[in-house]
Amino acid sequence: MKIYADTANIEEIKNIAAMGLLDGVTTNPSLVAKEKGEFKEIMANICEAVNGPVHAEPVSLEAGPMEKESRELAEIHKNIVVKIPMIPTGLAVCKKLSQDDIPVNITLVFNATQALLCAKTGAAYVTPFLGRLDDISNIGVEMLSDIIQIYENYAFETEILAASLRHPVHVLEAALAGADIATIPAKVFHQLFKHPLTDRGIEAFLSDWEKAKK
Ligand code: G3P
């Protein structure tokens, strides 16, 4: 499973990249709004720090402006993936951009039939949101598993990018289900390393070592 950082914060991104565990980055307008600076400059800086796809989301919802904004974003860097919401104009723009070899990620996907349509438009990625379904007492991982089953049934090449991952169990669920990619907030990423028995084991090893040396 590829691991992406779900953030527009350059320090968080560099920190994870330095561990050699970063395969890409996803952003969205809410994440970018948290950062200082101009949108394209933020995205260009992220592209310089990441050896992999960097997903940038236009905010236009009309087809013409959305396509124009998407093409401008794609011009920023060869690693830019354009991230477009799951709406009819979004799928139409996705089809046009994909035909020009501009990779598109369709985001804000909340059921398997939406994901089916995304694959048929030639989207390079589809982004189902697990956490926001769990928030309303749905079961996000079941939706993810349905998408994975449908994509296997028809050998769709669209990569499944599990998002809205609020805690380590969401990452576990995405991996067990077979998502191609998990995009993980920095806080959750760092939680993945932690286990109290690991900490206790290290303490015991060092304590026994010190005793033996004396
Ligand atoms: O990339 C999508 C992700 O940022 C959404 O996460 O926690 O706002 O549902 P969340």
The active-site residue, picked from 14, 83, 95, 187, is 83
How far is 168 from 33, CA to CA, in rounded Å?
Answer: 25
Asked if residues 174 and 130 have their Cβ atoms less than 8 Å apart, the reply is yes
User: Which of ligand 1's atoms lies nearest the C-alpha of 135?
Assistant: 9
For CA atoms 79, 80, 84, 89, give the dihedral sign. Answer: negative
SS3 call for 96: helix
pLDDT confidence of residue 88: 98
Identity of residue 109? V
User: Which of ligand 1's atoms lies nearest the C-alpha of 55?
Assistant: 1
pLDDT confidence of residue 114: 98
User: Which of ligand 1's atoms lies nearest the C-alpha of 185?
Assistant: 4
Asked if residues 7 and 35 have their Cβ atoms less than 8 Å apart, the reply is no
In order along its 214 residues, the chain shows pLDDT tens digits of 999 999 999 999 999 999 999 999 999 999 999 999 999 999 999 999 999 999 999 999 999 999 999 999 999 999 999 999 999 999 999 999 999 999 999 999 999 999 999 999 999 999 999 999 999 999 999 999 999 999 999 999 999 999 999 999 999 999 999 999 999 999 999 999 999 999 999 999 999 999 998 6
How far is 80 from 67, CA to CA, in rounded Å?
Answer: 15
4, 166, 177 from 133: Cα distances, Å: 20, 11, 16
How far is 42 from 100, CA to CA, in rounded Å?
Answer: 25
pLDDT confidence of residue 71: 98
Taking the centre of ligand 1 as the mean of its atom positions, its distance from the CA of residue 167, in whole angstroms, is 12
Q: Name which residue sits closest to atom 7 of ligand 1, judged by CA.
A: 164
Taking the centre of ligand 1 as the mean of its atom positions, its distance from the CA of residue 163, in whole angstroms, is 6
pLDDT confidence of residue 191: 98
Q: CB pairs under 8 A, 24+ apart, for 166-170?
A: 166/130, 166/131, 166/134, 167/191, 168/192, 170/130, 170/131, 170/140, 170/141
Q: Name which residue sits closest to atom 10 of ligand 1, judged by CA.
A: 164
Taking the centre of ligand 1 as the mean of its atom positions, its distance from the CA of residue 164, in whole angstroms, is 4
pLDDT confidence of residue 54: 98
Tokens of 148: 């994975």
Asked if residues 55 and 27 have their Cβ atoms less than 8 Å apart, the reply is yes
With a Cβ cut-off of 6 Å, ligand 1 is lined by: 6, 26, 28, 31, 129, 131-132, 163-164, 166, 183
pLDDT confidence of residue 52: 98
How far is 172 from 211, CA to CA, in rounded Å?
Answer: 38
How far is 70 from 81, CA to CA, in rounded Å?
Answer: 9
Asked if residues 133 and 139 have their Cβ atoms less than 8 Å apart, the reply is yes
213 carries an active-site annotation: no
